[in-house]
Amino acid sequence: MTANDTVTELETAFEHLPALIDSDPIVFYPYVSLTSLAMVIGFLGNIAIFITLLARPDVQKVGREFMANMCLADLCVTGLADPLCIVAAIKGEKYLTERPELCTLVASLCLTACFCAFFSLGCITASRTVFICHNRMYKSLFSRRKAIVQCCLCWVLSLTAEAGNFLGWGGHFYDRKSESCAWQRTASSSYTFFVGVGLISFPLTLMLAANIKVLVKVHSTKASPSRRRHVSSGQANASTKR
């Protein structure tokens, strides 16, 4: 068997799947309709929030810069991933597998934007926790200028975390299940562990702890006036009896 025969067999074994519109039209139309609807809602919703934050300084005073940053990251995902899913459903996976640079670019940008949105959410949680539980420190830690710097830092950290996929520690590929270009989670177990535990689970645990602390602080603050009123009422009754 020659090398050409081997290549031919491999090409036959890994033959590209037909486009969803050709293989299963019944699934194609609901899939494209729902994806398009989600894309439009996500795009318009994030744009509306972004414009509101810029035009109304009185709205979302705590963590507004991080909220805008998260909207920007979500727009990157909505503007890249969803349209590409529709393209793949219409043209088939061959369209993207024959354009590996495009597939890698979209997968990389989407993962970077997802990281950034998650980091921005963490910054929102941190700023709200400091504002409620340590109010005196808020202006020194989260002034407008410092918040913008922290937003830029979110992007830098996201790009750094994603860079591992270009350095052999991970990878990108066309995912047949989601019909989109994505991060290849099975390429490196250590990188997957790093993302799953270091970048997601651990920060989520910290955010959960911070939110619990906020709830406890709010509950104790609401309960304090009630206790003071109860004490004052008891003292008044005692004075009356005397």
We report the CATH number of the domain holding residue 29 as 1.20.1070.10
Q: Strands, DSSP E only, in 109-202?
A: 172-175, 180-183
Q: What is the mean pLDDT of residues 203-211?
A: 95
Helices 100-133 and 202-241: angle between axes, nearest 10 degrees? 20
Is residue 108 in a domain? yes
Say whether pLDDT at 33 is over 90: yes
Say whether pLDDT at 15 is over 90: no
Is residue 94 in a domain? yes
Is residue 227 in a domain? no
Q: Strands, DSSP E only, in 73-179?
A: 172-175
Range of the domain at 137: 3-189
From the list 207, 233, 42, the residue with the least C-alpha distance to 121 is: 207
Contact of 195 with 110, CB cutoff 8 Å: no
Is residue 212 in a domain? no
How far from 141 is each of 118, 128, 130, 178, CA to CA, in Å? 20, 12, 9, 41
Output the pLDDT for position 238. 38
Model confidence at 9, in pLDDT bands (50, 70, 90)? very low
Rounded Cα distance, 205 and 117, in Å: 17
**Residue with the larger pLDDT of the pair 27 and 151:** 151
Q: What is the mean pLDDT of residues 69-76?
A: 93
Is residue 195 in a domain? no
Is residue 229 in a domain? no
DSSP 19: P
Is residue 146 in a domain? yes
Q: What is the mean pLDDT of residues 78-106?
A: 88
Is residue 218 in a domain? no
Output the pLDDT for position 13. 40
Output the pLDDT for position 161. 94
Say whether pLDDT at 167 is over 60: yes
In 10 A of CB 25, how many CB atoms?
9
**Residue with the larger pLDDT of the pair 14 and 173:** 173
Model confidence at 235, in pLDDT bands (50, 70, 90)? very low
Which distant-in-sequence residues (6+ apart) come within 8 Å of 26 by Cβ? none
Output the pLDDT for position 200. 92
Number of domains in the chain: 1
Q: What is the pTM of this model?
A: 0.80
Q: Strands, DSSP E only, in the chain?
A: 172-175, 180-183
Rounded Cα distance, 109 and 114, in Å: 9
From the list 12, 185, 181, 5, the residue with the least C-alpha distance to 98 is: 181
Rounded Cα distance, 20 and 74, in Å: 26
